[in-house]
């Protein structure tokens, strides 16, 4: 009887192996290196999406589908498209902070008539974005390696849409958050242009209230868009009329984002600015 039971046990055991292996499978490490500014970690998830982290246990900076530039995986990148809704046909777009390049790739695809500039401090991040995340390399998308503030200050052109995406959860480049820097950004917006910032909430960001105060003072108004179940907030300001929930709702009707961007339209623009907060200034 014992001999007859062996084949049955063997079949059961063999059947379990693939299941256990599947459950044990996690993100696959594709790249890990140190640069002058970051410890870069690139992983590939089970569904093929790729992530970029600064540090093995760092917050995911980018989650990208390298096969589809329209597939924005992170909530904040989708919500950031509300800025596009306010400027449906931008000719020039500037993004400060490259990461895995999700937003530059997206704009490159949906705005075939626009020129997209990206300012990125870390040359290694640029290399990783091209090698692992499918960042386009053509004349319409230009990456400028160096400090974003210096790039803006030295620029002669103006942009219709500027996206500030260089603020981390705990690493806030303070020189990219001061009134003096935002004044430079404002000076480089075209008439009716819009600036958007991806900012972590006060639970994660000790400078949140000061940043909100600074934006409100420099631009004369600020719309803060909350993102459900997210530690991010989208700051929106304009060189034209003040940004309102109504202007966002109307703008959304003019764009075709490929996902339900209406879900991110706020009922009202939050002005969650602490009365005690002081604006940030250069030393």
- pLDDT by residue for the chain (283 residues), tens only, comes to 333 333 333 333 333 333 333 334 579 999 999 999 999 999 999 999 999 999 999 889 999 999 999 999 999 999 999 999 999 999 999 999 999 999 999 999 999 999 999 999 999 999 999 999 999 989 999 999 999 999 999 999 999 999 999 987 667 899 999 999 999 999 999 999 999 999 998 888 889 999 999 999 999 999 999 998 888 999 999 998 899 999 999 999 999 999 999 999 999 998 777 889 999 999 9
| Cα–Cα distance measured from residue 99 to residue 168, given in angstroms and rounded to the nearest whole number | 11
Tell me, what's the pLDDT at 21? 34
> 86-96: per-residue pLDDT in tens?
999 999 999 99
Tell me, what's the pLDDT at 281? 98
Tell me, what's the pLDDT at 226? 92
Active-site residue set: 165
Tell me, what's the pLDDT at 8? 35
CATH 3.90.79.10 fits 68-264, yes or no: no
Decide if 133 contacts 50 (C-beta within 8 A): yes
Question: What residues form DSSP beta bridges with 87?
Answer: none
> 223-269: per-residue pLDDT in tens?
999 998 888 999 999 998 899 999 999 999 999 999 999 999 999 99
Tell me, what's the pLDDT at 169? 66
Tell me, what's the pLDDT at 113? 96
Say how many C-beta atoms besides its own lie within 10 A of residue 267's C-beta: 7
Pairing of strands 141-145, 115-120: parallel
| DSSP assignments along the chain, one per residue | -HHHHHHHHHHHHHHHHHHHHHHH--PEEEEEEE-SS-EEEEEE-TTS-EEEEESTTS-EEEEE-TT-TT-B-SHHHHHTHHHHHHSSS-SEEEEE--TT-HHHHHHHHH-TT-EEEEEES-HHHHHHHHHHS----BTTEEEEES-HHHHHHH--S-EEEEEE----SS---GGGTSHHHHHHHHHTEEEEEEEEEEEE-TTT-TTHHHHHHHHHHHHS--EEEE-TT-SEEEEEEESSSPP-HHHHHHHHTT---SS-GGGG--SS-B----TT-------
């Amino acid at each position: 009887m014992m001999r007859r039971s062996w084949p049955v046990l063997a079949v059961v055991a063999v059947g379990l192996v693939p299941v256990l292996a599947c459950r044990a499978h996690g993100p696959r490490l594709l790249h890990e290196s140190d640069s002058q500014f970051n410890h870069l970690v690139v992983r590939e998830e089970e569904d093929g999406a790729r992530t970029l982290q600064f540090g093995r246990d760092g917050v995911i900076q980018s989650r990208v589908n390298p096969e589809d530039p329209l597939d924005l995986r992170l909530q904040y990148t989708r919500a950031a498209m509300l800025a596009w809704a306010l400027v449906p046909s931008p000719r020039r777009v500037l993004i400060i902070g490259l990461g895995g390049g999700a937003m530059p790739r997206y704009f490159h695809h949906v705005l075939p008539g626009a020129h997209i500039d990206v300012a990125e401090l870390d040359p290694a991040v640029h290399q990783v974005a091209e090698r692992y995340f499918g960042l386009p390399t053509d004349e319409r998308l230009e990456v400028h390696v160096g400090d974003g503030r210096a790039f803006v200050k030295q620029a002669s052109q103006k942009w219709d849409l500027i996206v500030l995406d260089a603020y981390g959860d705990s690493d806030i480049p303070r020189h990219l958050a001061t009134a003096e820097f935002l004044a430079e950004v404002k000076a480089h917006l075209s008439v009716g242009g819009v600036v958007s910032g991806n900012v972590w909430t006060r639970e994660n960001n000790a400078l949140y209230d000061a940043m909100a105060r600074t934006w409100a003072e420099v631009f004369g108004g600020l719309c803060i868009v909350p993102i459900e179940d997210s530690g991010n907030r989208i700051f929106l300001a304009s060189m034209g009329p003040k940004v309102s929930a109504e202007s966002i709702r109307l703008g959304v009707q003019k764009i075709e984002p490929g996902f339900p961007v209406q879900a991110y339209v706020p009922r009202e623009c939050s002005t969650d600015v602490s009365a005690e907060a002081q604006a940030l200034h250069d030393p």
